């Protein structure tokens, strides 16, 4: 949910029976599917908003039995209500997905037909494609991040983190989640990503060297249970500090605002694909649950090829 969506959200009033059912469903997602806290919190907001709408829509305190009365017309009313208060098509599509999951769970427990909800079509929206950096820009970003701090150890730290993002395709939370026990970095890292899914990631010599250079300069000792990457006072490094270093570097390099830490991960995938990498292998390296998520990079690569074609082909000009 965007900040605007959250600001426009109405007060949520639901019955204790629905609140309890929602809690049980979310507990099941955590226990059985390994859903991350951020994911379950987003689902809680989405489904609670929907249940709050039903309570007002039916003009009465709504129990579990009311879920079986929801019609296609009711679903259209809910979606129109959400759009009317400024919720984007992308956010509404996510909310609908959560509502369908909750309804299917409730239908199995209560024995009603959930077809009206499950058959509701998701609003169409244009998917945002990743915006990777060019290979030269990615290398320049790594080198320039190192110049953003007057403290040698901080400069080495930021460079090491960004090198891991690009060299291993890590999310920033995964890089900053490394502990002292992970040092020295092996040739292969086991990373626990979203949904507690574990994957194996090769570590390039350049990434191992960058981390080793940081550790050598870091004023804090490497301790097995402590974070590998430290903040100025020795605590866990705040991701915002890496974002700020990259922001300063991209301004120095004249790169767009899309040159973020996550863009380094996108660049890792796109450059592997351009070099002939297998889509399934890249899916595993990124830790994507679905191949369709990884397939977005084929569209990025194709778009770049078309740009080159249109710029260079004599018949295209």
**Contact call for residues 193 and 200 (beta carbons, < 8 A):** no
Q: Looking at residue 62, what is its pLDDT?
A: 66
244 in catalytic set: no
Whether residue 170 is found in the same domain as residue 270:
yes
271 in catalytic set: no
Whether residue 114 is found in the same domain as residue 145:
no
Whether residue 237 is found in the same domain as residue 143:
yes
Whether residue 221 is found in the same domain as residue 289:
yes
Confidence of residue 49 (pLDDT cuts 50, 70, 90): very high
Whether residue 46 is found in the same domain as residue 21:
yes
Whether residue 199 is found in the same domain as residue 237:
yes
Task: Find the domain containing 95 and state its range.
Answer: 3-118
Whether residue 230 is found in the same domain as residue 111:
no
Q: Looking at residue 305, what is its pLDDT?
A: 45
Picking from 62, 91, 118, the residue at the C-terminal end of a domain is 118
Whether residue 19 is found in the same domain as residue 75:
yes
Cα pseudo-dihedral 160, 163, 169, 173, rounded to 10: 30
Reported in sequence order, the residue ranges of 121-195 that DSSP labels E, i.e. its strands, are: 188-192
Please list the helix, strand and coil fractions of the chain in percent, rounded to the nearest 5, in that order: 65, 5, 30
Whether residue 227 is found in the same domain as residue 289:
yes
Q: How many domains does the chain have?
A: 2
Reported in sequence order, the residue ranges of the chain that DSSP labels E, i.e. its strands, are: 188-192, 198-202
Catalytic residue among 157, 208, 265, 266: 265
Whether residue 10 is found in the same domain as residue 148:
no
| 237 alpha carbon, distance to own chain's centre | 19
240 in catalytic set: no
**Contact call for residues 197 and 287 (beta carbons, < 8 A):** yes
pTM here is 0.57
How many angstroms separate the CA atoms of 165 and 163, rounded?
Answer: 5
Catalytic residue among 30, 194, 199, 304: 194
Picking from 84, 118, 152, the residue at the C-terminal end of a domain is 118
- Token output for 48: 């609670």
Catalytic residue among 157, 171, 208, 250: 171
Q: Looking at residue 313, what is its pLDDT?
A: 45
């Amino acid at each position: 949910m965007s900040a605007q969506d959250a600001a426009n959200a109405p007060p949520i009033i639901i019955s204790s029976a629905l609140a309890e059912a929602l809690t049980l469903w979310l507990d099941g997602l955590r226990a059985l599917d390994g859903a991350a806290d951020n994911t379950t919190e987003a689902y809680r907001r989405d489904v609670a908003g929907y249940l709050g709408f039903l309570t007002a829509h039916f003009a009465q305190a709504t129990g579990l039995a009311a879920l079986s009365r929801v019609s296609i017309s009711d679903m259209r009313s809910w979606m129109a209500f959400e759009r009317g208060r400024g919720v984007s098509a992308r956010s509404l599509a996510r909310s609908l997905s959560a509502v369908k999951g909750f309804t299917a769970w409730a239908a199995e427990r209560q024995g009603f037909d959930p077809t009206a909800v499950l058959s509701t079509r998701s609003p169409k929206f244009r998917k945002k494609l990743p915006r990777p950096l060019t290979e030269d820009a990615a290398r320049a970003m790594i080198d320039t991040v190192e110049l953003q701090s007057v403290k040698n150890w901080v400069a080495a730290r930021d460079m090491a983190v960004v090198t891991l993002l690009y060299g291993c395709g890590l999310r920033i939370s995964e890089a900053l989640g490394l502990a002292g026990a992970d040092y020295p970095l092996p040739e292969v890292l086991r990373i626990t990503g979203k949904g507690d899914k574990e994957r194996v990631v090769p570590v390039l010599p350049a990434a191992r060297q960058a981390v080793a250079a940081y550790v050598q300069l870091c004023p804090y000792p490497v301790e097995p249970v402590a974070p590998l990457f430290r903040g100025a006072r020795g605590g866990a490094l705040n991701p915002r500090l890496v974002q700020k270093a990259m922001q300063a570097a991209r301004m120095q390099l004249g790169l767009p605002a899309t040159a973020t830490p996550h863009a380094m991960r996108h660049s890792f995938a796109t450059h592997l694909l351009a070099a002939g990498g297998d889509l399934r292998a890249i899916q595993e390296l990124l830790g994507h649950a679905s191949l369709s998520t990884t397939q977005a990079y084929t569209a990025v690569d194709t778009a770049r090829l078309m740009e080159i074609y249109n710029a260079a082909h004599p018949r295209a000009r």
